Structure 1
């Protein structure tokens, strides 16, 4: 149960050196009774990874921080009380590694909002160990079995990876907002999150509007399934004919510049929400007038990740509708990872990087 003794990964210890992760070795935390070890084969690159290693969401908690939380691999070891997984099984891990699983939130399929033992996949301290979590740009990953999800045979591993954070992050608020037939959903930001939101909302039966600052991504958004495309930067009055139109507007952009919150709030139906999932730098704030929502009681909220139940539902939906995130495969090595992070920082990705060739690189 000690296999493997040492993991390898690409770590960052200084936010000023975010674009040049270096190969490091580190011991995993002790294998708890319900833990599994996963030999990694694929890992998506998420904007959260970039925000973290650039220090935009807070301090790097260790000098060899390995990020990455869209992990797909094979179970290679299990703790003595593991009951849901077996060695050799293909699984995925998203942005969460641990929760108490006993509190009211956990018992109500809200374990991603657990406030007792909520441990992120990287850069978070485990409550019972003097250990800060390490992510998926690595040879292996160790986590609680509850947060390792069996992947249906119909979904290829390279497409499953982006679903584990990006896909789940948009699916959860879509599902909880009642996305389906006879609903109209707006998606802001046609990027890593937004392109999956369009595909998922359409598969769930909604009429989908894609919002972007320019028309540059219009044709691609339509191919993804958007019924309508609005270039907000090309018309000052783009919202005037959309009053009382939307059952939810999902903001997937990782910026707030150019987003006129008052305009989006004004086109929601009564008691509906503008939901943030694409988070900007920690210090960025929105501005809006309370008078904007006095006529429709619209609200603003954020959504984080999703539950295990929702992950499994998401997999079923993608398998049924053959939903495949738009990806660019990047064989993992130092140079390729550096280039991918720099390109992501510039917005030069259509629409999700997925790291591959882990076994070959790590000689596992």
Structure 2
């Protein structure tokens, strides 16, 4: 099996890289293990997490760093001890998690339960260290190396440009929607009709909820929300009576907002008695919470993080069965620097996907 390819990608050397200053160069992936898969990257989605990491917004980043955790490509090397039925030539994907405690000292309780994403020894796909201490580099690159347990085969009914953003953006909202029972008889609100939120709208409709409503700051996103499939839309900054008009309307709210000035207490007022708000967006600063917003109505505020490999497979099959097509804009890998600048400016509708030009 030929392994003469080089690992090259867009390297962030410091926080200024988030402003479009990444540099293309060769890097050394984790040392090869027979449980690994090498992937020739064809598509790599751009996630807001990439910007947070490049600028050390969530904590100190271990530079240099190659970001990108919505990776789809062709398996070009498969270890002799690789899990699953992955073969050379398969179209596969890797999401935001690349490893966990599995196989180290025996699985922990969360891994044993098939919830690897909550493992205390979680290894992110980039800005992290693998079990062999090799550095984890992401998908803004030509090739990616990952443990096979976290490599997912892409069903033939899902195009790679759609599969890539599903690997993080899609699963981040699919998992809580499914866990909290989104389906017939339920009304769901989606805060933030954007890169994450538009996936929540698509999956809520696929789950057959009675009503899905987009919630964002400005009226100018109404048309996009309705075109996505929303039954209604709430503009929190352009309607001073938005809370009064929609009080106790929803069984479930998925909040993708990542701003510390989000009106969290107002969102909670929109929940029915015993309703649940799931926060999946991750602000870089604390968000104020009034306890009475929870106490009145015995409401629930919780969080959710990505999904397990099994959940990703289930999501991909649903996407294939229901022909779910995320709104993506394809950008050449060579334009990665400009693409992240455009993302920061809020230009994509709704997800950029980098495409390697072979």
TM beyond 0.5: yes
Of 203-212 and 285-294, deviating more is 285-294
- Name the residue aligned to 1:205: 208
1:171-186 alignment to 2 at 5 Å? Answer: 171-186=174-189
Per the normalisation by structure 2, the TM-score is 0.95
- Report whether the alignment pairs 1:247 with 2:248: no
- The answer to whether the 8 Å contact 1:190/1:253 transfers is no
Q: Secondary structure at the match of 2:237?
A: helix
- The answer to whether the 8 Å contact 1:139/1:359 transfers is no
Any runs of at least 4 consecutive aligned residues in structure 1 with deviations exceeding 6 A, and if so which?
none
1:1-364 alignment to 2 at 5 Å? Answer: 3-4=3-4, 6-18=6-18, 19-63=20-64, 65-84=65-84, 85-101=86-102, 102-116=107-121, 118-129=122-133, 131-206=134-209, 207-257=211-261, 259-281=262-284, 284-333=285-334, 336-356=335-355, 358-360=356-358
Q: Secondary structure at the match of 1:185?
A: strand
Q: Secondary structure at the match of 2:129?
A: coil
Q: Give how far 1:301 is off.
A: 1.8
Q: Give how far 1:2 is off.
A: 8.0
Distance of 2:204 and 2:224 partners within structure 1: 16
CA RMSD of aligned residues (A): 1.4
Instruction: For residues 152-188 of structure 1, give each alpha carbon's deviation from its aligned partner in whole angstroms, at most 9, with x where no partner exists.
Output: 1111111111100000001001111100111111101
Q: Secondary structure at the match of 1:37?
A: strand
Of 216-225 and 53-62, deviating more is 53-62
Of 197-206 and 291-300, deviating more is 291-300
- The answer to whether the 8 Å contact 1:62/1:132 transfers is no
Instruction: For residues 278-327 of structure 1, give each alpha carbon's deviation from its aligned partner in whole angstroms, at most 9, with x where no partner exists.
Output: 2122xx11112212222211122221101112111111111112111111
* Consecutive unaligned residues in structure 1, runs of 5 or more: none
Distance of 2:288 and 2:323 partners within structure 1: 39
Distance of 2:12 and 2:311 partners within structure 1: 32
Instruction: For residues 74-100 of structure 1, give each alpha carbon's deviation from its aligned partner in whole angstroms, at most 9, with x where no partner exists.
Output: 111111211411111110110010012
Of 263-272 and 1-10, deviating more is 1-10
- The answer to whether the 8 Å contact 1:191/1:253 transfers is no
Of 304-313 and 292-301, deviating more is 292-301
Distance of 1:315 and 1:82 partners within structure 2: 21
